[in-house]
Structure 1
Amino acid sequence: MIAALFLILASSILPFTLVFSQTLPTYPGARDGEWELLHASVGISAMHMQLLNNNKVVMFDRTDFGPSNLSLPDGRCRYDPSDNALKVDCTAHSILYDIGTNTFRALTVQTDTWCSSGAVLPDGSLIQTGGYNDGDHVIRSFTPCTDENCDWIEFPRHLTERRWYASNQILPDGRIIIVGGRRQFNYEFYSQIQQDSTSSYPGTFRLNFLLQTVDPSENNLYPFLHLLPDGNLFIFANTQSILFDYRHNRVVKEFPRIPGDDPRNYPSSGSSVLLPLNENNGNVVAEIMVCGGAPREGFLQAMQFGSFTHTLSTCGRLNVSDENPNWVMEDMPIARVMGDMLLLPNGDVIIINGAGRGTAGWENGRDPVREPVIYRPSAASDQRFYVMSASPKPRLYHSSAILLPDGRVLVGAAGYSLIRPVITSVNEVVSHGEFFTVTFTVPEYLTVEAISVRIIAPSFTTHAFSMNQRMVVLRLIAVSHLTKCTYSATVVGPSTAEIAPPGYYMLFVVHAGIPSSAGMWVKVQ
């Protein structure tokens, strides 16, 4: 019975799919999007996903809910006498998916990763933190490799506190801040220097904000974290948000509550993005967007009475660069909970997956929302949303989505394909504040005013929140016409580590709202 329940609820046991996301119909060649089946099954649930700079994706679920549909190779097994389901488990709960070859191989995790978090270090290594039971104090590392030998390396008891439903954010100095978790009203840091240490990492810092925002259904798990251009953190939990100076452990500012008094974090599970940071406009404006979720009583109604309330249709935008910011509210065309929000290469936002009634949690969601929605942040207020074609499969609890270098969005597996610019050369290393050149081709006459060069950080996605997601529109100095269809753009690297922390980014050229056919990996340092 446990195995059957696992198969029904595991999102990737449903067909593993690609969605081709799409710009609005005012753009040339616009379509409603199309879905492509990649694999009938990858054997595990894509509960957590992270794109790596070698164009491979790490996916994993949990280890304590029974066997998966994928065996570990070479007779490997996991032995855990305290496991809730299997004491000996010879099946995989993590895979490495190769985008280019559309293949995958099993990876080995020895401790429970259920409802954990992650971030990518400047060297490209995925650092994965916490989980459940034997995994709640564990740090795990996965470093991209060119052969088939790389696998998870685990460091037990290296977290100071139990981290289950915590959130991570990469910082300008290369550290990772790990915030919250169930009944954890504090935060701590991970540093690569500490990775080889055999002792626990010292240093937990109290964050009263998390205690103040918790309610009986614990609607402040997986708090939304965004690194702002001034170096401080925006932290959103339940209905409240703060500007937080993590270097001095102090709250700099309290922002107004989001209107409506309905919670937006797990298990109400709205989602959030930091809208693109544009370095061409002088002072960089930072604006946060929060969309969807469930009403305050939604979780208890579902758990105690089996009643599934209608979800939220509202989105709030908050310009945190304003001296006295206030939320500006908008209505999505489709209400949803558990929707993933991703920045697309042209600066649009796709809102995908989720349910129309209920909340996050096992069997607490109803009425799957299969239609993705595109949101254009800079369009007129009545022209920002566009509904796309429906997915052939529902994507509810424990589904996830990430942006790929070719512009597609992988949803538990997903992208877009138009007449698009093609990048022919770019520096592999981009330095903060220094000039560099991008050469590209376009199949039609180029309007210089319609060109932009953007970098996007790959996100760690789980439970409707894409941690570390970030887009920077780089300062464009000049565009030179080289041949009939070939151009060269002179661009300035991101001005500070607060604008773009060191690490790997996907670089796109966008022409007239249409992104290049493939993003190029660059390392910002």
Structure 2
Amino acid sequence: MSSITEPGPTLLDGKETIDRIDVHRNGIADPRRPTPTCRGVTKPRPGGIITVAVGLCRLIVRIRLSCKYTGSGMLLDILSTKLFCMEGHAMALHRYVSLQQGVSLFDSHGFREELVKKPPVHEAGSQAQVNLAGQSTGTAPVPVRRPGYCSLVLLLGLLSGCGDETDLARIGREALVASGAKHLEELSVTAPATSAQAPPESSIAPINGGPRAHLEGAFGPMFVWPVMPIHMVLLPDRRVLAYGTDTAGRQGAGFHYTVWDPKLGGGPEAFLTLPNVTGTDIFCSAQSLLPDGRVVLMGGDENPGTPEDFGNADVNVFNPRTNVLSKAGVMAYQRWYPSLVVMPNGEQVVMGGRINIVRDGPIVYERNVASTPEVYTPGIGWRSLTGATTDAAYGSTAESFFYPRAWLAPAGDIFILGHDGLMFRLDPTAQGTLTPLAAIAPAASERYPGVMFAPGKIISMRKLRQAVVVDINGSEPVVQSIASAALDRQWGNATVLADGQVWLNGGSTTANVLNDAHYVSELWNPTSGLWTPTARATQARLYHSASILLPDASVLTGGGGAYGPVSQLNGEVWFPPYLFRRDGSGRFAPRPGIATAPTKALVGGELTLTLPSGVQARRLTLVRTGSVTHSFNHDQRFMELPFTQTGVQLRATLPANVNALPPGHYMVFIFNGNGVPSKARMLRITAPPPS
């Protein structure tokens, strides 16, 4: 059996902390220095340059994948990073000009990156189980390097062309780590200062939401993305990891991934776009945020040079401390479109996904699917759940292999809601047991969203605008029909808000068709059971779009395409009604604050917050960070906590059931008497040690 391994802690040992890189950006003008744009590029260049950049980039990445971690490999890393930047900036500039979005993507910006606080370090000559390019899951000696060599690497990176010096500082830091530098206190790269300030967070917000903002919310301006965000994960450091296409919006995530920092706005300086050097096309994989703060990605597309829509068996891990995506293991089965559930004990259960198909053009003759789930146990490895093999729950029946709708249930097993309405419970212990359930929901398909909006309660959209609530708190699920949504939203998205309401956006009546795309969104209130219309987006969000709740209580929505009628390399942020004054002015309401909050807490433990003087909390909510793709956010869950407030101290007791409050990262919100939420404090919840 293969095991997921990486330098330092094993995948889910719970010991790794998120003392991540602190990034400071500097917009102070310095007329003596040139702007840090691609050298000589001030306007769109002919397509031939883009083609050459793309070709060189891909050639170098393929060469890099065949290299061991040597000096030549390091230089290839730098060159591939720079070429990716060139390709991305050029493509983005062409898109930006065609959309006539005002300022140029090459408006100058400067920044400084400082690497501080316990960088990951290996002793020179020690054994590392994964190199930084993700080329080996076995043990290998870490090369011994002198700091002088690393300085040369960093200098060559600076001279290599274009793009974010965040990439360069990262590469320099990795070189120093590989050299065995034991006491790296600070390494900084300062780009030329410029006359343009980096866009503030308000650049993604509307200047005024309009007279109905307190009823419908409002969208901020559309902003360009370097890749199509088909997959989104909210990270513990408040950034968003996204991937899905190349920088031209073409299918395939074997070449790029990006990390967006919302506090830096919607300009190019808010994105850190990096080359994927794992050798895995992570397009249409499963992804989930682990309790230790890393992101695990399983499966994806088997891409031998052109997308095949076959599954691969690769496992990769993204570390937000270093922004590095690394190869970490192999599953027994290839999986394209799988689902992933992380259990409270750290085990990771993956199910569904397609292995391959046999076809002649559009005609499919045979389809092989992964109808046996697998479990990864940290420190032990993989086992197949041969006792739970089935086509009904996550195999060929009714496309059930396609991102099975699966959630951790309060009883500690996994609940599966089939696209055809059938329901199952999966016990992942030993060789696995699958139990069919008597309850049935109306038929849907893989194109409809569902999300857990309260402990053990799921709202699921079904065909013909139907919606149901499935309560899985008991031994048998209870299905309750609720009011129908206003529109039938195939490939729409459902997102739980900071107050527990569910926002439904995007999609179309006919799957992935532009002429009946839905721009108006709607909001479901679990208390009243009613739907209300909300603001109108400027962009269609069809197949391969995604939406995710952000720590400021707004919702990012973006993507769509690859394939589809329009390629959406852009995003918008929707600001819900609870963020606006109720007087119809369209202005944002004053928000309550949280002065101090813990960063960690135990399941069943006490949560203590300090509020600013004069702030009286009316509600306290927890929202688990989301992980979304293909109209399914399996990680998100919501709960409201009873609390007491004495002066500025607010105290609450967390639930003691690890299945209702699974270990992981949560956003903590308080609401004032006007129903306005604070910005979230991020809280890592861990399970108490076994007695």
- Tell me the TM-score range normalised by the shorter chain: 0.7 to 0.9
Q: What are the Cα deviations for residues 231-278 of structure 1, in whole angstroms up to 9, with x where unaligned?
A: 12111122211233222522355042213xx333x2xx111112222x
Is residue 101 from structure 1 mapped to residue 267 from structure 2 by the alignment?
no
> Residue in 1 aligned with 2:190?
none
Correspondence 1:35 to 2:208: no
Whether the 8 Å CA contact 2:352–2:395 is kept in 1: the answer is no
Q: C-alpha distance in 2, partners of 1:174/1:213?
A: 22
State the AA in 1 paired with 2:345.
D
Q: Is the 8 A contact 2:349 2:373 kept in 1?
A: yes
Q: Say whether 1:190 aligns with 2:373.
A: no
Structure with the larger strand share: 1
Instruction: Give the CA deviation at 1:502.
Output: 1.5
Partner of 1:521 in structure 2? Answer: 682
Structure 1 residue aligned with 2:433: 250
Tell me which moved more, 162-171 or 365-374. Answer: 365-374
The 2-side partners of 1:389 and 1:29 are apart by 8
Give the Å deviation of 1:439.
2.3
Q: Relative to 1, partners in 2 of residues 1:216 and 1:366: Cα closer, same or farther, differing over 3 Å?
A: farther
Going from structure 1 to structure 2, the CA distance change for 1:93 and 1:213 (only over 3 Å counts) comes to: closer
Quote how far apart the aligned CAs of 1:395 are. 0.7
The 5 Å alignment of 1:235-314 reads: 235-238=416-419, 239-247=421-429, 249-252=432-435, 254-259=437-442, 262-264=443-445, 266=446, 269-277=447-455, 286-293=456-463, 312-314=464-466
Matched with 1:367 is 516
Counterpart of 2:470 in 1: which secondary structure?
strand
Matching of residue 334 in structure 1 with residue 490 in structure 2:
no
Rg larger in 1 or in 2?
Answer: 2
- Counterpart-to-counterpart distance in 2, 1:491 and 1:342: 25
Tell me how far apart the structure 2 counterparts of residues 126 and 396 of structure 1 sit (CA, whole Å): 25
The answer to whether the 8 A contact 1:221-1:237 is kept is: no
Aligned amino acid, residue 187 of structure 1: P
Q: 1:203 aligns with which of 384, 388, 392?
A: 384
Instruction: Please state if 1:317 is matched with 2:469.
Output: yes
- Identify the match of residue 239 of structure 2 among 47, 56, 70: 56
Between the two structures, name the one with larger relative contact order (CA 8 Å, sep ≥ 6). Answer: 1
1:386 aligned to which of 516, 532, 535: 532
The alignment's C-alpha RMSD in Å is 3.3
1:101 deviation in Å?
Answer: 1.2
Could you list the per-position Cα deviations for residues 385-409 of structure 1 after superposition, in whole angstroms to 9, with x for gaps in the alignment? Answer: 1111110110111111111000011
- 491, 495, 499: which is aligned to 2:656? 495
* Equivalent residue in structure 1 for 2:606, among 435, 439, 446: 435
User: How many angstroms apart in 2 are the aligned matches of 1:287 and 1:438?
Assistant: 28
Which of 353, 375, 378 is 1:181 aligned to? 353
What secondary structure is seen at the aligned counterpart in 2 of 1:247?
Answer: coil
Whether the 8 Å CA contact 1:472–1:494 is kept in 2: the answer is: no
Letter in 2 for 1:429: K
Residue 74 of structure 1: aligned partner: none
**Equivalent-residue separation in structure 1 for 2:477 and 2:397 (angstroms):** 29
Structure 1 residues 59-74: aligned runs within 5 Å: 59-62=242-245, 68-69=247-248
Q: Give 1:292 deviation, angstroms.
A: 3.8
Q: What code does the residue aligned with 2:281 have?
A: D
Instruction: Tell me by how many angstroms 1:346 deviates.
Output: 0.5
**1:441 and 1:42, CA in 2 relative to 1: closer, same or farther beyond 3 A?**
same
Cα offset, 1:323, TM superposition: 5.4
Matches within 5 A, 1:56-135: 56-62=239-245, 68-69=247-248, 92-102=255-265, 103-109=270-276, 110-134=279-303
Q: CA distance change for structure 1 residues 521 and 372 in 2, over 3 Å: closer, same or farther? A: same
For 2:316 and 2:522, locate their aligned partners in 1 and report how far apart those are by CA, in whole Å. Answer: 34
CA distance in 1, matches of 2:634, 2:324: 22
Aligned to 1:234: 415
Residue 159 of structure 1: how far off its partner (Å): 1.2
Q: CA deviation at 1:96?
A: 1.0
- What code does the residue aligned with 1:36 have? G
Q: Aligned equivalents of 1:126 and 1:427: distance in 2?
A: 22
Moved more, 129-138 or 53-62: 129-138
Q: Tell me if the contact between 2:547 and 2:555 (Cα under 8 Å) persists in the aligned partners.
A: yes
Does the C-alpha gap of structure 1 residues 141 and 324 become closer, same or farther in structure 2, counting only changes over 3 Å? closer
Q: State the one-letter code of the partner of 2:623.
A: I
Inter-CA distance 50–324: structure 2 relative to 1 (3 Å threshold): closer
Deviation at 1:520, TM superposition (A): 0.4
Q: CA contact under 8 A between 1:19 and 1:409: conserved in structure 2? A: no
Residue 212 of structure 1 deviates from its aligned partner by 6.1
Aligned equivalents of 1:369, 1:29: Cα separation in 2: 19
Q: Residue type matched to 1:521 in 2?
A: M
> For residues 131 and 319 of structure 1, what CA distance do their matches in structure 2 show?
32
Structure 2, gaps ≥5 residues long: 1-49, 52-87, 102-202, 304-310, 355-368, 559-570, 581-588, 687-691
1:346 touches 1:515 (CA, 8 Å); kept in 2? no
Secondary structure of the residue aligned to 2:407 is strand
Matched position secondary structure for 1:118: strand
Structure 1 unpaired stretches of 5+: 71-83, 278-285, 294-311
In 2 relative to 1, CA 442–410 (structure 1 residues): closer, same or farther, beyond 3 Å?
A: farther
**What CA distance in whole angstroms lies between the structure 1 residues aligned with 2:554 and 2:234?**
12
Asked if the contact 2:352/2:400 (under 8 Å) is kept, the reply is no
Deviations 1:465-500 (A, max 9, x none): 012111122342x222x2xxxx42210123122112
Report if the CA contact (8 A) 2:343-2:662 is conserved: yes
| Paired amino acid for 1:153 | S
- Structure 1 residue 366 displacement after superposition: 5.1
Q: Which amino acid aligns with 1:170?
A: V
Q: Partner of 2:594 in structure 1? A: 423
Instruction: Tell me the equivalent position of 1:472.
Output: 639
Task: Please tell me whether residue 171 in structure 1 is matched to residue 171 in structure 2.
Answer: no
The 10-residue stretch of structure 1 (460-469 or 413-422) with the greater mean CA deviation from structure 2: 413-422
Distance 2:525 2:204 in 1: 22
TM-score (norm 1): 0.75
* Higher alpha-carbon deviation: 333-342 or 30-39: 30-39
Residue aligned with 1:30, SS: helix
| Whole-angstrom distance in 2 between the partners of 1:498 and 1:316 | 23
Q: 1:514 is paired with a residue of what secondary structure?
A: coil
Measured in 2, the distance between the counterparts of 1:255 and 1:441 equals 51
Whole-Å separation in 1 of the counterparts to 2:486 and 2:242:
31
Equivalents in 2 of 1:517, 1:133: separation in Å?
A: 44
In structure 2, C-alpha distance between the alignment counterparts of 1:111 and 1:52, rounded to whole Å: 21
Shift in Å at residue 207 of structure 1?
Answer: 3.1
Given residue 373 of structure 1, which amino acid in structure 2 is its aligned partner?
E
Q: 2:545 aligns with which of 385, 390, 399?
A: 399
Structure 1 residue 184: Cα displacement: 1.2
- Checking the alignment, whether the CA contact within 8 Å between 2:502 and 2:524 is kept in structure 1 is yes
CA gap 1:495/1:253 in 2 versus in 1, 3 angstroms: farther
Q: What one-letter code is carried by the residue in structure 2 that aligns with 1:270?
A: Y
Q: After TM superposition, give the deviation of residue 337 of structure 1 in Å.
A: 0.8
Distance 1:474 1:190, change over 3 A: farther
More helix by share: 2
Matched, 1:510 2:671: yes
What is aligned with 1:302?
none
Which digits, 9 at most, give the CA deviation of each residue in 1:140-199, with x for residues without a partner?
Answer: 111112xxx52211235x1111111111112111222111112111211234436xx8xx
CA–CA separation in structure 2 for the residues paired with 1:513 and 1:226: 33
Give yes or no for the alignment of 1:376 onto 2:525: yes
